[in-house]
Amino acid sequence: MVSRSTHDHKPLIYEVRGGVGESPVRPDGTLKVKGEFAYASDLWLDDALFGVTLRSPHPRARITGIDISGALEIPGVYAVLTHADVPGTKHYGLDHSDQPVLAIDEVRYEGEPVAVLAATDPHTARRAVGRIVVSYEELEPLTDARQAVFDSSVPPIHPDGNVVRNQPIRHGDPDTATAEVVVTAEYEVGMQDQAFLGPESGLAVPAADGGVDLYIATQWLHVDRSQIAACLGLPEEKVRLTLAGVGGAFGAREDLSMQVHACLLALHTGRPVRMMYGREESFFGHVHRHPAWMRYEHGATRDGKLVYVKATIVLDGGAYASTTKAVVGNAASLGAGPYEVPHVSIDAYGARTNNPPCGAMRGFGAVQACFGYESQMDALAEKLGLDPVEFRARNAVSQGSYLPTGQVIDSPAPLAEMLRKAAATPMPAARSTMELGELPGGYGNTTHGEGVRRGVGFGVGIKNICFSEGFDDYSTATVRLELVAGEPVATVHTAAAEVGQGLVTLQGQIVRTELGVEAVTIRPADTSVGSAGSTSASRQSYMSGGAVKAACEAVRAQVATLVGRAEPDIQLTGGKVVSATTGVVADLADVLADGAVEETAVFRHRPTVPLDPFTGQGDSHVQLALCVHRAIVDVDVELGLVKVVELAAVQDVGRIMNRESLEGQIHGGTAQGLGLALMEEIQVTDGRIRNPSFTDYLIPTILDMPPMRLEILEYADPHAPYGLRGAGEPPTLSSTPAIVAAVRAATGLPLRRIPIRPEHITQQ
Amino acid sequence: MRVELIVNGTERFADDVWPGESLLFTLRERLGLPGTKNACEQGECGSCTVLLDGLPVCACLVAAPQAAGRDVVTVEGLAVEDQLDPVQEAFVETGAVQCGFCTPGLVVMVADLIRRTPTANDAEVREALAGNLCRCTGYEKILDAVRLAAARVAS
């Protein structure tokens, strides 16, 4: 920091460590490595009962009877509850309350909760739940999303129809646009699971006031609370939530899972109730990434300029609406990718079927579309005889470009530079040995190098940051500055969910930078403070970071007032109150001697508008973020095995707030994109999940992940706090098409479905 | 049934143990040691890794009665009071911890790896940790942590 003061600079020498731009260690890190961090599944009270869920074995059936008497006869069973025991509204949902707390007269997906039971211990509870007898009349499930959308003869599985949203985008004159070179193809994306490691868990404790306290792993305490309170028939103030330790989220904790169930059981029994899903139940207990079917037609001039994009995107939302509406909005508005296209026609649909419900997962609608448009860009480049990087760069958006929604990109979007940097990244050395571990198939000893081809591919993704389409998106933070043992200490209180990303670290960094005190305490997130919004859409650094910054600014202004210097240039640093013009004004400790200074701030990003329902026009997004990947793969073309050799990412983040956490986000997001490209799919047949386990649903191991090279750019967004740009999701978009492109380059195959399976490579 | 075993150097016992019960369940539910994590319960994720007579095992795959009379070290047994094991320190310092749910199993596994193979190269580290799933980090910073811890232990 350079001081503008001509006075004594001494206070500025004491600039606190661990501020914005540094990488201080996580405040929860030591607890986590010692096994002492209290995750939701670790919570315990001596008199707590254990709650379990009875789920539908059918993807679609009418319930003709439920007999709970057998379960109630088991000693140690305290309650068996069905829909009849739900005292408030019987349905919930994030956008649209269409999901029953417990199935009423029909089950619409395999695994739908039908009854819940509380018993003294897990063994008793699991034994007893098997004694509940539910009579079903099986119905023909609707499992084809395209049929749900386009076949009007299919009876609706919900009274208000099977289409949750149809969002057209019309830009330019797509109906009459023609092009010299045209590429058309259909693409499919399988159903991906978030596969967080800490299964759904929580502890509900009945309170003396008739309310309930819930300790829960979630992404958004307040939206949980509003849904829970409605279902319990309680005023919101009687439903108090505290964030328990969260073992990863990635979107899967945005919808409710066992929250209402645990509270119902606790209120019914008057005892604390803990619930903890196992891995198999977790696969049925949360929404997944929407599978997609997409048809893309791209037209370009012979010299490599895009003329038009026409696309149909069908997203299968499964049995209930969840966030399908917003997922469709993303797929539609970002469906042409980060390219300048004069004429665009996109129709995106979200369907309800009897498949597993789908909702939020990292990338949220933008991931599926990205696989489509990036596959098309490669196909066009090949047909044009152009280098895929050069072709993309020729059409890349930049600041001032229009999206097909008519929205102008009004902050840096250095895509052409990012592409060239990705291409210029040094290549890894050619494989020099026949070390088995470095070959496709690894120590499976499937090849000694014969039939192995190397390929290189690129992928680009564009993701909206924060909530879009007119959503009133805000975050609240309270910051308190007080003397503790004679030293100034800051305390931050928000309801923002730390799910692993490092927001607790960042909150401390912001306070240190803004208030110049080293000691920062982060209070547990709970609902006694205002909403922080969701930990999703890569929005918490921007939104809760913005709220903490705003609260600090208010505290600073209050301190300035207390020292009689209510002027904007007052800063707090190293425990001093400092004027940029006159130097040290006071010791902060002296100012705080008369009492604490506390301020609460609500931070909102600039407003957005909904997309026009007929033309898809509108400034729907707050901020857009880009990532570019280069993938290098070795493919055993005889056995269809792929080894990713290296992944290089170039991402613009506006401002590096914490490099270590940021790199962790890019690495982790890239890994989930690799999973979608090559490994991860919930296989659903006739509405039934065939692989609900980590034995059969494969997520990348340390052997599957290659070394990664990162190049991080900092082109500040003038609209955002500190100029930062949300960073968690973009790498998940671009790594997938980059890897697929590399496999195509190695094999010469079109590969239009992900994840790529060995038979896709060998059976062509 | 009663199961007696030595956990982190202390003689412990658990009553009412069901014969098919996993060591993981006994540790978490009966002995008050929830540090060992339950993420898959079928030996695929490594989150419940503990040392059984000095060998890393998935506690979910060991029946509690099989551990009777044997020596179990869990993540809670790595640090000596406030002094973290070098592996734990390295995980915190390098950013190898995000949500942290995989961390207890990983630090136990890495501590064992470094003790056996102090000079393991990256390929050997990857092979050794292939049974420990992490969903947050993409493993890059976990490798950084292993390298740092190994260097510190060696010096």
CB contact under 8 A, B99 and A278: no
A437 touches B: beta carbon within 8 Å: yes
> Residues A497, A533: contact at Cβ < 8 Å?
no
Tens digits of residue pLDDT in A76-135: 999 999 999 999 999 999 999 999 999 999 999 999 999 999 999 999 999 999 999 999
Residues of B in contact with A245 (CB under 8 A): 100
Looking at beta carbons, which residues of chain B come within 8 Å of A664? 95, 98, 136-138, 141
Residue A764 has pLDDT above 70, yes or no: no
Whether residue A3 is predicted with pLDDT greater than 60 in this model: the reply is: no
Residue A17: CB atoms within 10 Å:
9
Same domain, B38 and B99: no
Residue B92 is part of a domain; what is its CATH number? Answer: 1.10.150.120
In this complex, do A39 and B37 lie within 8 Å of one another by their Cβ atoms? yes
Task: Identify the bridge partners of residue A632 per DSSP, sorted by sequence position.
Answer: A456, A646
Tell me: do B72 and B111 sit in the same domain.
no
Q: Does A248 touch chain B (CB under 8 A)?
A: yes
Residues of chain A neighbouring B92 (CB-CB closer than 8 A) = 25-26, 29-30, 32-33
Per-residue pLDDT band for A581 (boundaries 50, 70, 90) equals confident
| CB-based contact A668 B133, cutoff 8 Å | no
Compute the nearest-CA separation of B30 from chain A (Å): 11
- The pLDDT confidence band at residue A260, using thresholds 50, 70 and 90, is very high
For residues B21 and B41, membership in a common domain is answered with yes
Instruction: Identify the domain containing residue B39 by its residue range.
Output: 3-76
Crossing angle of the two packed helices A415-424 and A388-395, in degrees rounded to 10: 160
Q: What is the DSSP letter of A496?
A: B
Contact A29 B98 (CB under 8 A): no
Instruction: Judge whether B32 lies within some domain.
Output: yes
The domains found in chain A, sorted by start residue, are: 10-37+474-604 (3.30.365.10), 41-140+199-246+253-285 (3.90.1170.50), 288-468+611-762 (3.30.365.10)
Nearest residue, CB atoms, A667 vs list B93, B103, B138: B138
Tell whether B104 and B49 lie within a shared domain: no
SS3 of A231-291: the string is: HHCCCHHHEEEEECECCCCCCCCCCCCCHHHHHHHHHHHCCCEEEECCHHHHHHHCCEECC
Q: Is B139 part of a structural domain of the chain?
A: yes
Containing A187, the helix (H) or strand (E) segment is: strand A181-189
**Are A169 and A344 in contact, with CB atoms under 8 Å apart?**
yes
Residues of chain A numbered 333-372 and touching chain B (CB < 8 Å): none
- Best CA proximity match to A627, nearest among A644, A657, A641, A648: A648
Examine the domain organization and report whether B63 and B32 are in the same domain.
Answer: yes
Residue to mutate among A34, A36, A696, A698, with most B CBs inside 10 A, is: A34
B129 interface with A at CB cutoff 8 Å = yes
Q: Do B121 and B94 share a structural domain?
A: yes
Phi, psi (degrees; rounded to nearest 5) at A590: -65, -40
CB-based contact (8 Å) between B8 and chain A?
A: no
Residues of chain A with Cβ-Cβ distance to B103 below 8 Å are 32-33
Residue B12: Cβ within 10 Å count: 17
Nearest chain B residue (CA) to A200: B39
Q: How far, in Å, are A134, A224, B127 from residue A657 at the CA level? A: 54, 29, 34
The CATH number covering residue B56 comes to: 3.10.20.30
Nearest alpha carbon to residue A659 among A20, A30, A16, A29: A20
Residue A231 in tokens: 């279902």
Q: Which of residues 47-86 of B touch A (CB under 8 A)?
A: 47, 74-76, 78-79, 84
Show the beta-strand stretches assigned E in A30-70.
49-55, 61-67
Kindly state the tokens that stand for A235.
């005023």
**Does one domain contain both B70 and B90?**
no
Please report residues of B whose CB lies closer than 8 A to that of A39: 34, 37, 101
The verdict on a CB contact (< 8 Å) between B123 and A437 is yes
Q: Are residues B44 and B15 in the same domain?
A: yes
pLDDT confidence of residue B81: 85
d(CA A273, CA A501): 29
> What's the pLDDT tens digit per position in A128-163?
999 999 999 999 999 999 999 999 999 999 999 999
Please report residues of A whose CB lies closer than 8 A to that of B146.
none
Q: What is the pLDDT at residue A15?
A: 61
Report whether pLDDT(A645) > 60. yes
Q: Which residue of B has its CA nearest to A280?
A: B40
Nearest CA in chain A to B139: A702
Q: Which of A544, A537, A546, A605 is nearest to A254 (CA)?
A: A537
| pLDDT tens per residue, range A693-741 | 999 999 999 999 999 999 999 999 999 999 999 999 999 999 999 999 9
Helix (H, G, I), strand (E, B) or coil at B10: strand
Return the pLDDT at A5. Answer: 39
What pLDDT does residue A568 have? Answer: 80
Interface of A with B in 178-207 (CB under 8 A): 194-199
Contact at CB, A123 and B18, closer than 8 angstroms:
yes
For an interface test with A, the pick among B15, B60, B139 (most A C-beta atoms closer than 10 Å) comes out as: B139
Q: pLDDT class for A7, splitting at 50, 70, 90?
A: very low
**Residue A567 vs residue A110, higher pLDDT:** A110
pLDDT of the residue at A11: 37
Put simply, the answer to whether B139 touches A671 (Cβ < 8 Å) is: yes
d(CA A647, CA A679): 16
What mean pLDDT is predicted for residues A567-580? Answer: 89
Smallest Cβ–Cβ distance between B36 and the set A28, A35, A195 belongs to A35
Q: Where does residue A168 rank: exposed (0-12), middle (13-18), buried (19+ CB within 10 A)?
A: middle
Q: Which of B23, B48, B76 is the last residue of a domain?
A: B76
Q: Are A199 and B95 a contacting pair at CB < 8 A?
A: no
User: Is A221 within 8 Å of A253 (Cβ atoms)?
Assistant: no
Q: Is A26 on the interface with B (CB under 8 A)?
A: yes
Query: For A27-80, how does the pLDDT look when each residue is reduced to its tens digit (9 = 90+)?
Result: 999 999 999 999 999 999 999 999 999 999 999 999 999 999 999 999 999 999
Residues of chain B with C-beta less than 8 angstroms from the C-beta of A37: 100
Residue B28 maps to a domain: yes
Q: Residue A223, exposed/middle/buried by CB under 10 A (0-12, 13-18, 19+)? A: middle
Q: Are residues B71 and B12 in the same domain?
A: yes
C-beta separation of A547 from A475 below 8 A: yes
For chain B positions 15-54, those within 8 Å of chain A (CB to CB) are: 18, 28-29, 33-42, 44-45, 47
Domain boundary among B76, B98, B125: B76
Q: What's the CA dihedral at A7, A10, A13, A16 to 10 degrees?
A: -110
Q: Which residues does A678 contact at the CB level (< 8 Å), separation at least 6?
A: A642, A644, A704, A739, A755, A756
CB pair distance less than 8 Å for B42 and A438: no
A661 vs B95: CB contact, 8 Å cut-off?
A: yes
Our CA-based measurement puts residue B135 at a distance from the nearest CA of chain A, in whole angstroms, of 6
Which of B101, B127, B142 has the highest number of chain A CBs within 10 A, making it the mutation to test binding with A? B101
Residue length, chain B? 155
Residue B81: inside a domain: no
Q: Is A100 on the interface with B (CB under 8 A)?
A: no
For chain B, what is the domain count? Answer: 2
Q: Which residues of B touch A36 (CB under 8 A)?
A: 35, 76
Of A248, A435, A693, the CB nearest to B136: A248
Does any domain span residue B52? Answer: yes
Residue A265's pLDDT band, with cuts at 50, 70 and 90, is very high
Q: Tell me: the pLDDT tens digits for B93-146?
A: 999 999 999 999 999 999 999 999 999 999 999 999 999 999 999 999 999 999
**Domain end position, chosen among B25, B41, B76:** B76
Non-local CB neighbours of A424 within 8 Å, separated by 6+ positions: none
List the one residue out of A67, A166, A77, A155 whose CA is nearest residue A114.
A67
Q: B144 and chain A: CB distance < 8 Å anywhere?
A: no
- 8 A C-beta contact, residue A675 and residue B148: no
**Is A199 within 8 Å of B94 when comparing Cβ atoms?**
no
Best mutation target among B15, B16, B18, B140 (most A Cβ atoms within 10 Å) is B140
B91/B110 same-domain check: yes
Mean of all residue pLDDT scores within chain A: 96
Residues B91 and B131 in one domain: yes
Would the CB atoms of B141 and A667 count as touching at under 8 Å?
yes
Helices (H), A385-515: 388-395, 415-424, 503-515
Whether ipTM exceeds 0.85 = yes
Rounded to 10 degrees, the C-alpha dihedral A99/A102/A104/A107 comes to 70
Report DSSP state, residue B60: G
Q: Once rounded to an integer, what is the mean pLDDT over residues A311-317?
A: 98
CB contact under 8 Å between A197 and B37, yes or no, is yes
- In the chain, the amino acid numbered A229 is A
User: Searching chain A, which residue's CA lies closest to the CA of residue B95?
Assistant: A660
CA angle A182, A187, A191 (to 5 degrees): 160
Helix (H) and strand (E) counts in chain B: 5, 5
- B141 and A663 in contact by Cβ < 8 A? yes
Query: Are B100 and B134 within one domain?
Result: yes
pLDDT of A463 above 90: yes
Cβ atoms of A585 and A11 closer than 8 Å: no
Cross-chain residue pair B91–A671, CB shorter than 8 Å: no
Q: Residue A42 has what pLDDT?
A: 98
